[in-house]
Amino acid sequence: MQIDSLNVLVTVLTLIILAVPGFLLAKGKLLPDKASEAFSTLVLYGCQPVMVFMSFQGKEYSPEIGLNMLIVAGIAIVVHLIMYCVAYFIIRNKDASAKKRSARYGCIFGNCGYMGLPLIQSLFYGQDCLSEAIIYTAVIIAVFNVFNWTFGVYIASDDKRNISVKKILLNPTIIGIVLGFLVYVTVKIPLADLAVSGSKLDMAVEKVMNSFNTIGNTVTPLSMTVIGIRLANVNFKQLFMDKTAYLVCAVKLIGMSIVTMLLVAFLPVNEVVKYTAFFLFSMPCATSTALFAVKFGGDGDFASVCVLLTTILSILTIPLMYVVFGLLL
* Domain parsing of the chain, residue ranges: 5-328
Partner residues linked to 285 by β-bridges: 110
Which CA distances in Å does 191 have to 22, 176, 219, 241? Answer: 36, 15, 22, 53
d(CA 52, CA 121): 12
Q: What is the pTM of this model?
A: 0.87
The pLDDT assigned to 96 comes to 62
Task: Looking at the structure, give the CATH architecture of the domain made up of residues 5-328.
Answer: Up-down Bundle (1.20)
DSSP annotation of 93 reads -
d(CA 221, CA 27): 18
The pLDDT assigned to 83 comes to 96
DSSP annotation of 288 reads H
Low-confidence ranges of the chain (pLDDT < 70): 1-2, 93-96, 238
d(CA 278, CA 8): 12
d(CA 80, CA 149): 13
d(CA 108, CA 86): 9
The pLDDT assigned to 1 comes to 63
Which residue type, as a one-letter code, is found at position 34? K
Whether residue 96 contacts residue 158, with contact meaning beta carbons closer than 8 Å, is answered with yes
Which CA distances in Å does 298 have to 86, 164, 289? Answer: 20, 18, 9
The pLDDT assigned to 95 comes to 58
| Residues with Cβ within 8 Å of residue 265, at least 6 apart in sequence | 274, 325, 328, 329
The pLDDT assigned to 169 comes to 84
